[in-house]
Amino acid sequence: MAYLIPPMDDEPPAEFIAFVAGRLASLRSETARLVGGERFAPEVYTEVLTDLAGHWRRLSWRSRLGHRDARAEYLDRRLAARTRQWREDQIYPVEVTVARQEPSGAAAPPLRHPVPQADTVARRLAPLLPTTHRADAQVVAEAGIAWVHAYRRYVWRRYARVCGGIVLLICYLVQFMSQVSAPT
């Protein structure tokens, strides 16, 4: 089937994942600063990434045509808007304080020595096996979650447009039939 505007992909494109990978750390820290801590930051920056994913194709085209980074500008605008919306939704006022960083010469807490573990075959073989830890797994997960949420919104909006079109068509047919059947 040919589309004038192709539908949204159900998987995030590599460019979106790369964009999220480049900006996720700063987005998390800025969100934590704006909402007053790490506790509520994930719910805000996930919504920001979902908004970005929903407009990804349009913003990519705008970036290419305008020779500027429209995606980063949109991300900043949505972060400000979502943070403002989050603060308005809170029952109690949110107090945000900027914490000073301790000077580098500050005394560090005393180090605790690890408890020696029993030497097993698995512990001896562990350095020889490839690691299962993936550095970019969290970035891919955050990008994937945001893309899936945006895709769900896209599908629901498409259903709403189709249902609205059907209702308008039925209203038009009823109006047309009432005019045709009316005695002149």
* Domain residue extents for the chain: 8-92+144-184
Mean pLDDT, range 139-168, rounded to an integer? 92
Mean pLDDT, range 140-169, rounded to an integer? 92
Say if residues 66 and 17 touch (Cβ distance below 8 Å).
Answer: no
Amino acid found at 10:
D
DSSP assignment, residue 7?
Answer: P
CA distance linking residue 146 with residue 15, whole number of Å:
14
Is pLDDT of 1 > 90? no
Percent of the chain scoring above 70 in pLDDT: 77
Is pLDDT of 132 > 70? no
Percent of the chain scoring above 90 in pLDDT: 37
Strand, helix or coil at 134?
Answer: coil
8 band by pLDDT with thresholds 50, 70 and 90: confident
Amino acid 115: pLDDT: 52
102 band by pLDDT with thresholds 50, 70 and 90: low
DSSP assignment, residue 121?
Answer: H
The more confident residue out of 84 and 122 is: 84
Mean pLDDT, range 81-89, rounded to an integer? 90
Say if residues 31 and 43 touch (Cβ distance below 8 Å).
Answer: no
The more confident residue out of 99 and 128 is: 128
pTM of full prediction above 0.75: no
Burial 154-170 (b: 16+ CB within 10 A, else e): beeeeeeeeeeeeeeee
* pLDDT tens readout for residues 13-35: 889 999 999 999 999 999 999 88
Amino acid found at 29:
S
Q: What is the CA radius of gyration of the chain?
A: 26
DSSP assignment, residue 73?
Answer: H
CA distance linking residue 142 with residue 159, whole number of Å:
26
